[in-house]
Structure 1
Amino acid sequence: MSFDHTLLLREQHLIEASAGTGKTHLITTLYLRLILGRGTPEGIAHRVQNILVVTFTIAATQELKNRIRSRIKLAHDAFKQGASQDAEISGLIAASAHPEQDLEYLKRALLWFDEAKIFTIHGFCARVIQDTSFEAGLLFEQRLDAHPHDALTRAAQDVFRNLMSGLPPLEEALALSLWPTPDVLASAMAPLIRVPQLHFS
């Protein structure tokens, strides 16, 4: 895979790629470029705390963390030695105007890597809610449920049981014709709980 080391890292781009095409490798290379300030506006070197990487699953998040950290370590050692077998890292070394400074950037990235912002989509959303709960008018202890369907199913079962046990026969028959099972009731409730202006009492 060839990589353009002069590509400017700004604006937004959508790149679609199937499995096994080198997406993770490309992400690690872009991450290195951001750490070293290559292609960034004004050539600013970014700290790991200011680079956001978002993926789908917890397993993919862990793999990304491991791969990115390993690549930073590889680049650090290569800058120390002045050469690398890795084509992209070799290109970064060759293009470096200040290799000693770049080595310090890589050392800093390794030192602070535990602070790297690499999340699942849900994890990132939870972090934003946590960090901005006051400004957004949200509860401070609010948390995202990774399986909201389970909570809805439990709520529907409770409502179904309480509703059906206290209704007169005619009303019970009418309710059962609309919601014969808790699952049907849960399906009917699902669109309602997505309306933020709707309050239940």
Structure 2
Amino acid sequence: MAYRALFVFVALTIVTSLLVLPKARGNSEGDALSALRRSLSDPDNVLQSWDPNLVNPCTWFHITCNQDNHVTRVDLGNSNLSGHLVPDLGKLEHLQYLELYKNNIQGSIPSELGNLKSLISLDLYNNNISGTIPPSLGYLKSLVFLRLNDNNLSGPIPRALSSISTLKVVDVSDNNLCGPIPTTGPFEHIPLSNFENNPRLEGPELQGLAMYDTNCS
């Protein structure tokens, strides 16, 4: 009987641990999105389905996952959200689309977004984001669309963005950027209208760059 009781105890322990493990282990993508939710004010309850107790966030509204249950899209454009972005977003390593346009998001762009190596589209336009454009965005070698227009961004346009060969659209108009406009790489084909209404931008950079103060702030 003692052996039988021991067997039952061990079996129950294993079953219990298997049931508890997913929540204890958590999901890094779910944790990252939960951190974002905590940082945002959501008067219209568009994030109501974001339940941090679920093993992964693929059943949440405004989230798209691939067949391996990795988050590939966050679609929260025009959702009446306020608050700020969080460094945890850099953990969404399979993310392709980060759509947070037309909200009231404030604060800065986390440099950790440079970890999103699969990102195709970064749409943060029409918010109240301030601070500088992180040079780390130059690591986004799959990026095609970068729309940061209609914010309160300051500082220079990082020349690191010139190394993104996939980049087709850059719009940083209606900010407070300063310094020269890059002209190499993808910037050869970006219209000047996408840089307008930045009173401190000094125009396209010239060969040698000697006349420009690239340490503007």
Q: TM-score range by the shorter chain?
A: under 0.3
Structure of higher RCO (CA pairs closer than 8 Å, 6+ residues apart): 1
TM-score, structure 1 length as denominator?
0.24
